[in-house]
Structures are given as structure tokens and as C-alpha cells.
Amino acid sequence: MGVPEDRDAAFVAKITAGATHEIRNVLAIIKESAGLVTDVIHSLGGRALSNPDKVVRAVGRIDAQVSRGAALLANLNRFAHSLDRAQEGTDLNQEIQQTAFLCQRLARQGRHQVQVQPGDQALPVGVNPLWLQMALFAAVECCLDQLPEAGTVTIRTGRQADRPSLEFVAEAEKEAAAPFATGTASWGQLVELLDRLGASIEASNTERRFTIVLPLAEVA
């Protein structure tokens, strides 16, 4: 089953909107923290600092947000470059790290976390990078959709029969293990995207866990 091309555009818009929203938050926090530093300095009237810890905390917050903004822009830039890359050998470890980073805002909305356990070696895959990002994002969304509040999605890279693979595990803090509901719209979309990539998926019958197996990169 084919996937309409406008779905590609919708995915790009979704990622860009989420990242730019986060960047606006970064800038707002920096502005607020800088204003606090200014207010403290002005309140001194030439006297020595009465509460230097407050200034140190504000400056530290500014520094942290600048680093966060730089990371957001770096990941957004890398994502943008996936649009002008043809099908090529792509490192699965790098791609899933980027997906997890770009999914953080979506995860926080449900008080969830997304964490990655990458392998020690590069895992080249021979698929379109944009389509791969769409499938990985859909896999994370599928996990988040079926988690109650305060859950964790763990993604592990590996190999299955010499092909690169990904294991997605969704666990809730206060709920017993349960299998994925595979009749949902998000699951159907994930299967459709994986079919586009020539990838396969297998879900556990007892846990919220599934494994995706991807094509190998062609050796030139």
C-alpha cells in the first residue's frame, strides 16, 4: 500500500513545528533569566551582592538553555538535510538518537520519557532517510499512545539474522505489562510506513514490546 506524498510534507511540518515551539520556549526562558539577573543587579544600587546564589542560578539557567537551543538547531538542521539525501547507507544508531530527541516534547506532554540504548557498532541501513525518520517517529508515537501517564519508551538497536533491528519497549510505572493493541490507527500507520521501507515488525504477545527489522545497506 502506498503512502501519499502529502504525508511526507505533513511529517516535515509536524517536526518543524515542534522544534520551533521548543526553540521559542528556550528563548523565553533565556529572556526571563536575563531579566532576573538585571533586576538583581539594579536592586543593589552599587552595594555588594546580598544573594549571589540567585544570580549564579540564573546565569546557569541561561547557559543550560543556550546549550539546549544549540542542540535543537543541530538536530533540526540534520533532519532538514534528510530531505535532500537520496537512498543511501544511513547509521541506524544516529537516526534513532535524533528521533528520540525530536520526540521529547511529544513525550513530555504525557509525562513520558524516551530513552535510547544504542549498539557499540554502526548499523547501516539502505533506506530513504526521510521515510526512515517517519517510521521511527510513528513507532515512538505508537508506544506513547498506548501508555498511561508516567511511562518510559526504551529503544534498543541490534541485529536480527544479520539485519539491523530496533526493539521498542513501552513500560508504565504503575501498571503491569500488557501487549500492544495492534488494531489501532497508529499501529496501522506504522505498519504501512514500514512496508514502504521494506521492513518487518513483530509484536510481543505478553508485553508492550515490538521489534522492527530493516534492510541492509547495499555495499558499493
What's the pLDDT at 156?
95
Q: Which of 71-80, 84-93, 178-187 has the highest mean pLDDT?
A: 178-187
What are residue 151's DSSP bridge partners?
172
Instruction: Give the Cα separation of 213 and 126 in Å (integer).
Output: 12
Q: What is the CATH number of the domain that holds 102?
A: 3.30.565.10
CA–CA distances in Å: residue 208 to residues 57, 60, 64, 159, 186? 40, 39, 34, 20, 14
**pLDDT digit string, tens, across residues 130-165:** 889 889 999 999 999 888 878 999 999 999 888 899
Q: Does the predicted model carry a pTM greater than 0.85?
A: no
Q: Residue 159 and residue 148: Cα distance in Å, rounded?
A: 30
Q: pLDDT higher for 71 or 114?
A: 114
pLDDT in tens, 21-78: 788 888 888 888 888 877 777 676 656 666 677 777 888 888 888 888 888 777 777 7
Residues 60 and 167 grouped into a single domain:
no
Q: Print the domain residue range for 178.
A: 89-213
* Helix, strand or coil, per DSSP, at residue 127: strand
DSSP summary character for residue 203:
E
Q: What is the mean pLDDT of residues 164-178?
A: 86
Residues 151 and 202 in one domain: yes
- In this structure, the answer to whether residues 41 and 122 fall within a common structural domain is no
pLDDT on residue 19: 76
Q: What is the DSSP string of 147-172?
A: --SSEEEEEEEEEETTEEEEEEEEEE
In a domain, 140, yes or no: yes
Q: Is residue 195 part of a domain?
A: yes
Is residue 190 scored above 90 in pLDDT? yes
Task: Of 134, 166, 140, give the one whose Cα is nearest residue 152.
Answer: 140
* Residue 219 belongs to a domain: no
